[in-house]
Structure 1
Amino acid sequence: MTTTQLLAGRKVLVTGAARGLGLAFATAIAEAGASVALADILHDTLAASVAALRERGLQVHGLPLDMADPASIEACAAAAVAQLGGLDGLVNNAAITNSGGKSSEQIDIAMWDKVMEVNVRGTWLMTNACLPALRASGSGAIVNLASDTPLWGAPKLMAYVASKGAIIGMTRSLAREEGAHNITVNAVAPGLTKVEATEYVPAQRYQTYQDGRALQRLQLPEDVTGAVLFALSGLSRFVTGQVLAVNGGFVMN
């Protein structure tokens, strides 16, 4: 299905966009007619991804971003607004896992704090940094990448699961705060998706997902992009504070 011009004229920042789901989102958003700023800590990978998209004639920019550094977050948001000429959409995709394969008692405090620092505090700070521009847009949209893991209680992933549960709560609270500014705030909760960042996941976990899905196949990045495009577009201007699980029916809510 073509989405050409669905986001024509929109200006969108995507974090964690050098590869994987973030790159898939940025690509689809640019293909839909938007100007896109891709931000990531993986500078070389980001540069290559941006160059490849520009070769296709897409309007994209690359920006450095360290989600653990408040100054970097502020600088990234400011640069995105300056280079794009404003901001209509923010996709808070950047995150780390770190606790995969560890039981609750095997996670140390430093690991827990790092996951919360990047996934929760970083998302909060990036959102705050972008709010003035999103309010000025008059039709701003924030899409937070949650996960279906807190929806079913995925084991041996506690810090990550807790951080994504926090993202869901933050989404609902911020939707109420920003409704007066005509900003929609929604979360997309993918299931286990085959990308570089999930290469560590054991085959057994992939099989658990595949067996439990109503649509029993591997989940790919392009399975998730449509939900993000919808949440950024004019099709969803009366949808806010919602969590859309995109996991082939593994979790139904």
Structure 2
Amino acid sequence: MTGTAIVTGGARGLGRAYCLALSDAGFRVVVSDLLDGQSVAYEIAQAGGEAIYVTADISSAEDNVALASAAADAFGSIDVLINNAAYFSETTRGPFFEVPEMEWDRTFEVNVRGVWLSCSAVYPYMREQGSGKIINIASNTCFKGTVGFPHYVASKSAVIGLTRCLAQELGPDGITVNTVSPDLIPDPSLRPADSTSDEFVVAGRALKRTQVPEDMIGTILYLASSGADFVTGQNILVNGGAHYH
């Protein structure tokens, strides 16, 4: 595989895993994040790959336009967009009627508006070249109806709907748009309650183990490859059999 891939939220966790895997597969990688992603770009370069870091707030239209422009200027094309950045670990857990209004709005600004803006920014480049692959990251919580953070679940459900709309609209331009939905991938350093939650989640899976970032890589690389040229508008659950769809 060759081409240029943008990964939003690429500085740590799942985003970092996507960046490293895409580079290993032959892609030039644009690491994008509000956090410092220079170390990820350096890690890729040290391994013989090509990468740049571009700081961006995906809820900002201006930042998304600048991100797409930087990617095209550096590498000449935009072939893959992984919409991974999300407002998750910061969300308040509790009853739906206690969600702070500003937190609800910020969740949708990042998780829904951000995905829309990122897609809008790369679209002119993909349309001009007649090809492109957009991979949006949703969540298994949409299918479980997980309680405790309805603003996050609702925002990720909206991403699935947006994906289907974009698949229809962008198909004539040779662009595929799909969603991948992981289950809980615990990170106790960011969310201490994950350790307890993971025990409950693992018990409900067909595959009785903790999900790790590397479990997502095969599906991401498949959707980014020519092998998925006729796959669009789909949502793929990567959850160890926690839920079937």
For the aligned pair, the TM-score class normalised by the smaller chain equals over 0.9
Question: Which of 48, 70, 94 in structure 2 is aligned with 1:57?
Answer: 48
**Corresponding position of 2:162:** 170
Q: Matches of 2:220 and 2:234 in 1, distance apart?
A: 12
User: Does the 8 Å CA contact 2:136/2:163 hold for their aligned counterparts?
Assistant: yes
Please say if 1:153 is aligned against 2:136: no
Distance 1:242 1:41, change over 3 A: same
* Secondary structure at 2:120 match in 1: helix
Please say if 1:233 is aligned against 2:238: no
The structural deviation recorded for 1:67 is 1.9
Question: Which of 22, 25, 34 in structure 1 is aligned with 2:27?
Answer: 34
The structural deviation recorded for 1:84 is 1.6
Q: How many residues align?
A: 244
**Corresponding position of 2:191:** 199
User: Does the 8 Å CA contact 1:47/1:62 hold for their aligned counterparts?
Assistant: yes
Please say if 1:23 is aligned against 2:16: yes
TM-score (norm 2): 0.96
How large is the RMSD of aligned CA atoms in angstroms?
1.3
Distance 1:25 1:196, change over 3 A: farther
User: Does the 8 Å CA contact 1:89/1:232 hold for their aligned counterparts?
Assistant: yes
Amino acid at match of 2:229: R
Relative to structure 2, which stretch is displaced further, 235-244 or 74-83? 74-83
Following superposition, which runs of at least 4 residues in structure 1 exceed 6 angstroms of deviation? none
Question: Which of 203, 208, 223 in structure 1 is aligned with 2:200?
Answer: 208
Distance 1:16 1:197, change over 3 A: farther
- CA deviation map 1:189-209 (0-9, x unaligned): 000013477534343321121
Q: Matches of 2:101 and 2:117 in 1, distance apart?
A: 22
The structural deviation recorded for 1:48 is 1.4
What are the ranges of 5 or more consecutive residues in structure 2 without an aligned counterpart?
Answer: none
**Corresponding position of 1:224:** 216
Identity %: 38
* Secondary structure at 1:58 match in 2: coil
User: Does the 8 Å CA contact 1:193/1:219 hold for their aligned counterparts?
Assistant: yes
**Corresponding position of 2:124:** 132
User: Does the 8 Å CA contact 1:37/1:84 hold for their aligned counterparts?
Assistant: no
**Corresponding position of 2:75:** 84
Amino acid at match of 2:155: S
Please say if 1:13 is aligned against 2:11: no
Amino acid at match of 2:60: D
Question: Which of 123, 126, 129 in structure 1 is aligned with 2:115?
Answer: 123
* Secondary structure at 1:147 match in 2: coil
Q: Matches of 1:180 and 1:238 in 2, distance apart?
A: 12
**Corresponding position of 1:181:** 173
- CA deviation map 1:12-42 (0-9, x unaligned): 1110000100110111011001111010000
- CA deviation map 1:177-218 (0-9, x unaligned): 011011110000000013477534343321121000100100
* Secondary structure at 1:17 match in 2: coil
* Secondary structure at 2:16 match in 1: helix
